[in-house]
Amino acid sequence: MGELDGKVAIVTGAGRGIGEQVARKLADAGAHVVVSDRDGAEAEAVVGALATPGAAHVGDLTGAGVCDDLVATAVDTFGRLDIVVNNAGYAWDGPLHKVTDEQYQAMLDIHTVVPFRVLRAAAPHLREPAKAEKKAGEEVFRKVVNVTSLAGVMGNAGQVAYASGKGAIVGLTRATAKEWGGFKVNVNCVAFGVIETRLTAPVGTVGEVEAGSSGEKITLGVPEVVRQGFGMAIPLGRAASAEEAARGVYFLCSPGSDYVHGQVLNVSGGLSLGMAS
């Protein structure tokens, strides 16, 4: 018996990296997972490897109606929705004086607007069952986990647009927590430091991603000189693996976090960007 048996989860950006590892952990605990990603082949591969029956949802979540379709896929396929993990995102970096309107908007769209739209679509499926459960004297917890970054909590030079989007999701998390607490929907946030994913791989080794409304190609990764400094900046001495990062998300999806609400959990190995949170 798994502690999430019968639960239904959505994980965005789950075709690889942290999202994939979150999906695997949720399924290993018994949940049915809808794997959302722009890359259909990657999403289908993850679903095929899950421990429980899942479903793939393929699409650009920034497109009109796509977030609504994602939630409908979960409910139509499995009949309910219990867990939402807003993980999808990428970095389009640059100093403030060089950031374009399109670049800035793209970071807000994927990191703040998309989670808002997903939660708006999910709202009736998370809130309405709670009303019936309250009448019956039952207390059933559902979960929302949004993903931010230390850049969104503390700021980071060269990431003005990214930090703005990641910072805004903290406000979305805490406001939603205040609205949905009465429905026993735990709403929390995970702030990641340096995680070994495509975003932190050596620049030029992991391909590109289409960004913004124009579909501009953004090269993923960070310069090697930056990577070499990770170990010195992180008290634990190294970046985390995607699997280690996913453990923090899983905790906030599990019954162990039933009395954790409206919080930002730093999963960073102790990394600080030089400013108090």
User: Which tokens go with 248?
Assistant: 């923090």
Q: How far is CA 96 from CA 106, 156, 157, 210, 275, in A?
A: 14, 11, 9, 21, 19
Q: Is 149 a catalytic residue?
A: yes
- Structural domain contains residue 272: no
CA distance 14 to 59: 12
Query: What pLDDT is recorded for position 275?
Result: 43
- Structural domain contains residue 31: yes
Beta strands 8-12 and 142-149, pairing class: unpaired
Q: Is 259 a catalytic residue?
A: no
User: Which of 269, 263, 277 has its CA nearest to residue 154?
Assistant: 277
- Structural domain contains residue 273: no
Please give the backbone phi and psi of residue 68, each rounded to the nearest 5 degrees, phi first. -65, -40
Domain hosting residue 105, numbered range: 8-267
Query: What pLDDT is recorded for position 108?
Result: 98
In the chain, the number of structural domains is 1
- Structural domain contains residue 213: yes
CA distance 130 to 182: 9
Residues listed for the chain: 277
- The C-alpha torsion from 66 through 86 and 74 to 137, rounded to 10°, is -130
Q: Contact, 220 vs 208, CB < 8 A?
A: yes
Query: From the candidates 7, 162, 254, 257, which is the catalytic residue?
Result: 162
User: Digits of tens for pLDDT over the chain (277 positions)?
Assistant: 799 999 999 999 999 999 999 999 999 999 999 999 999 999 999 999 999 999 999 999 999 999 999 999 999 999 999 999 999 999 999 999 999 999 999 999 999 999 999 999 999 999 999 999 999 999 999 999 999 999 999 998 899 999 999 999 999 999 999 999 999 999 999 999 988 877 776 677 666 777 777 777 777 766 666 666 676 788 888 889 999 999 999 999 999 999 999 999 999 999 875 444 4
Predicted TM-score (pTM) of this structure: 0.93
Question: What is the C-alpha end-to-end distance of the chain, expressed in Å?
Answer: 39
Q: Residue 257 belongs to a domain with what CATH number?
A: 3.40.50.720
Task: Map tokens 């903290």 to a residue.
Answer: 170
User: Which of 193, 218, 184, 161 has its CA nearest to residue 277?
Assistant: 193
- Structural domain contains residue 276: no
Query: From the candidates 7, 25, 143, 166, which is the catalytic residue?
Result: 166
Q: Is 166 a catalytic residue?
A: yes
Query: From the candidates 36, 149, 254, 268, which is the catalytic residue?
Result: 149
- Structural domain contains residue 1: no
Query: What pLDDT is recorded for position 228?
Result: 66
- Structural domain contains residue 244: yes
CA distance 118 to 137: 29
Query: What pLDDT is recorded for position 277?
Result: 41
Q: Which amino acid is at 239?
A: A
